[in-house]
Amino acid sequence: MSVAYGIEVKPKDDVYIQTAERGVYPLTVAAVPGSFLVDLLPILKYVPAWFPGAGFQTKARQWKRLATDMIELPYAEAKKNIAEGTCPPCFTSMCFEKMNSGTSDDAYREDIIQGAAGTMYAAGSDTTISGVASCILGLLERPDVFKQARADLDRVVKKGHLPDFDDEASLPFITAIVKEVLRWRDIVPIAVPRYLENDDQYKGYRLPAGSIVIPNAWAMLHDESVYPEPFEFKPERFMKDGKINPETRDPAHACWGFGRRICPGRYVGFAALWVSIASIIHVFDIEKERDEQGKPLELSHEYVSGIVWCVYSIVS
Ligand code: HEM
């Protein structure tokens, strides 16, 4: 919210966060191929809404309203703040400056700025949260990793400060933890499926127009010939002699998607994960909850399914 609109959210019950959560949810469900038959049989869109099985039309109308609110409400607030001169520097305020400077660049039109800011929030929030939650899960399973990361932070971060990006070069193990999170619990496991408008071919396979191509990023990041013991949370696979191991393939080859549609927020996303994870490890102890007998409770590793998947409940 602050990056896109210069809005500082409330710690609890923030109206913009609530609106955005309601707007993002349909996106994560609807983007999974097969969620709706109409994706495979487009002719169904002509079936009247009252027809049995055509409930998707009503759903689409309701979801469109939620998505529109998500895009319009914070934008209206930012626009008001810009007019009053109280908006802190953010994506929307910078685009306004450019638009008002008389640029001939067609990208600086209000409808585009509004859509881009909305997309930025929608694409950047659940993804980053999913990564932080998976990291906590990994650290709960690997207290030794937590201990090492904490010791590194205690050594590097100035007393009374939180870790910041100036510390990044001196904290390669935190970077290794972030890379391992992006690999171990790949946040967008099938990237965004593609719909082929034209016939295509790949390595001798014919891909007819109308096909949906699903990039299996999950499989690429769990290939045991590249990442031994792929289902284990092992940040140390990215380390060698106290530095990032250049021989271990960086998860960036798959975790941010592919080609022209690769995540444009990947640098912000990585940085947000890095600073969040470093700060959490610096100031919190993370350990499994215990039962009355003091025995640690085992974790369920249950996730909510969607185009972005997220830890559902970490204690079974
Ligand atoms: C750890 C956090 C993040 C992860 C794992 C992630 C991952 C992805 C993936 C896999 C895609 C699909 C790419 C494809 O279709 O091939 C995507 C798209 C996108 N991401 Fe991210 N992302 C993250 C954070 C962010 C942030 C912080 C922003 C914005 C500031 C952002 C903006 C976008 C946008 C706008 C798209 C759509 C691009 C397009 O379709 O052309 N993402 N992201």
Query: Where does 162-299 show beta strands of DSSP type E?
Result: 194-195, 200-202, 205-207, 212-213, 239-240, 243-244
CA of 23 to the centre of ligand 1 (A): 16
CA of 54 to the centre of ligand 1 (A): 31
**Is residue 2 in some structural domain?**
yes
Same domain, 313 and 177: yes
Which single residue is written with the structure tokens 């998976």?
Answer: 134
Which single residue is written with the structure tokens 């600086």?
Answer: 108
- For position 248, which CATH number holds? 1.10.630.10
Same domain, 9 and 84: yes
Same domain, 104 and 198: no
- State the Cα–Cα distance between residues 79 and 183, nearest whole angstrom: 38
Number of structural domains the chain divides into: 2
DSSP state letter for 47: S
CA of 241 to the centre of ligand 1 (A): 32
Same domain, 265 and 148: yes
Same domain, 88 and 3: yes
> Mind listing the pLDDT tens digit of every residue in the chain (316 residues)?
999 999 999 999 999 989 988 888 887 777 777 777 777 777 878 887 777 777 788 888 888 899 899 999 999 999 999 999 999 999 999 999 999 998 888 889 999 999 999 999 888 888 999 999 999 999 999 999 999 999 999 999 999 999 999 999 999 999 999 999 999 999 999 998 898 999 999 999 999 998 889 999 999 999 999 999 999 999 999 999 999 999 999 999 999 999 999 999 999 999 999 999 999 999 999 999 999 999 999 998 999 888 888 887 533 3
Pocket test for ligand 1, best of 2, 27, 113, 127 (most atoms within 8 A of CB): 127
**Is residue 71 in some structural domain?**
yes
- Ligand 1 contact via 90 beta carbon (within 6 Å): no
Q: 2 near 272, Cβ under 8 Å?
A: no
List, in order, residues 6 or more apart from 175 with CB less than 8 Å away.
Answer: 168, 238, 244, 274
* 3-state percent breakdown (helix, strand, coil) of the chain, nearest 5: 55, 5, 40
- Ligand 1 contact via 131 beta carbon (within 6 Å): yes
